[in-house]
Each structure stands twice: as C-alpha cells, then as structure tokens.
Amino acid sequence: MLTVQMNDAAAVLLGAWAGLAPTQPPQGLTAGLRDLTANGIALHGDAVVLTDTARHLRDAGTGGFIDLTAWECSVNSVHLEDFVPVPVDVLDDGEPVIAEADQRLLLAQGLNLALHICHLGRSFEPPLQIRCIVSASTTNGTFRFHRIRAGQQEHNPDLDRYTVEKMIVIDTGSPSS
C-alpha cells in the first residue's frame, strides 16, 4: 500500500487536485539527489538509513533521542536546497528566503525522492515499511525518512496544523511492531 498525504498548502502549490502527474519534474531527480541515493538504503540494526550513511555510523542506538524513529529522522534528514539548484536569497538578518516557485520545485523533488526511497524499501524481503516526510517553506526544504513503527511518529498527523510549511507524508505499508 502506498499512501500520500499533503496539507492543503502543498496540494495547492503542486496542483495535486488535478493529479500527481504535474508534480513530476521533467528530468526526474536532480543529479545531487541521484548521487545521494546512488548506493541505495540499508538496514543498520533495526533502522533504515542511506547505505553511504551506514558506513559512517557506529551503532543504531537512540543516543539522546526519544526513540529509534527520532534517531532515524535525524540521521536521514537532508536540506533539499543543498541538492536541488534553487536560488536562496538572504535577508540582512541572515534569514534565507526561497520563492514560492522554488518551494514547488523542492516539494516535487522531495516527492520524487520519497517515491524512490519507498521503492528501494520494497525491494527488501520482507519489504520495509517506510515513511518519508517532505516539507518546504520560505526558508528551506527538508526531506527525512524512517521505518514505520507503531506508536512512533515524527510529525503531527493533521498536516494542516503546519501553517508555515507545505507538508507531504508518504507511507509504504502499515506500522510494524
């Protein structure tokens, strides 16, 4: 099962009411995002991480995080604007500013990245149940992912409560114990 949820702001910006086809960038993932995921994903203990990240990790303990899901989200979090070429202006106070059209590109690339990560997870036996969280705002775009676990989540399920960010959550499967 694949589930895609968006808050109203993301759905409007991506034109999702007309279907998801308009969200697909014509060239697919940017070179930076392709490079990021070139070696796939791997299990590190009970956590799922990018294979290149797994090579640098000592353990999959929760460290100072509340649970393994929070740890995974931290380890698997990237700023999309570091991998997607969009102009980022900077105000006098140092705050970055990303135009709405560029936020749309970040969301579209993040959605494509999420679908790619979920596809990689489906190649495991048994298939991994993965949640990807994509957000964009006037200051940045972020992407993070984790295994779906009952009782653990790193976002508010009411996506419209996010009033600053445009939010997309993509799930494959259902919670594991």
In a domain, 54, yes or no: no
In a domain, 137, yes or no: yes
Q: Is it the case that residue 173 has pLDDT exceeding 80?
A: no
Closest to 68 measured CA to CA, from 132, 174, 150: 150
pLDDT band, very low/low/confident/very high, at 175 (cuts 50, 70, 90): low
In a domain, 38, yes or no: no
100: enclosing H helix or E strand: helix 100-122
Taking a C-beta distance cutoff of 8 angstroms, is the pair 136, 109 a contact? no
Q: Is it the case that residue 86 has pLDDT exceeding 80?
A: yes
Range of the domain at 105: 2-30+77-172
Amino acid at 177: S
Domain count, the chain: 1
Taking a C-beta distance cutoff of 8 angstroms, is the pair 129, 176 a contact? yes
In a domain, 18, yes or no: yes
Which residues face 133 on adjacent strands? 144, 169
pLDDT band, very low/low/confident/very high, at 25 (cuts 50, 70, 90): low
pLDDT of residue 65: 81
| Average pLDDT across the chain, whole number | 86
Question: What are 144-155's pLDDT values in tens digits?
Answer: 999 998 877 778
Question: What are 97-126's pLDDT values in tens digits?
Answer: 999 999 999 999 999 899 899 889 988 999
Q: How many CB atoms lie within 10 A of CB 99?
A: 13
In a domain, 145, yes or no: yes
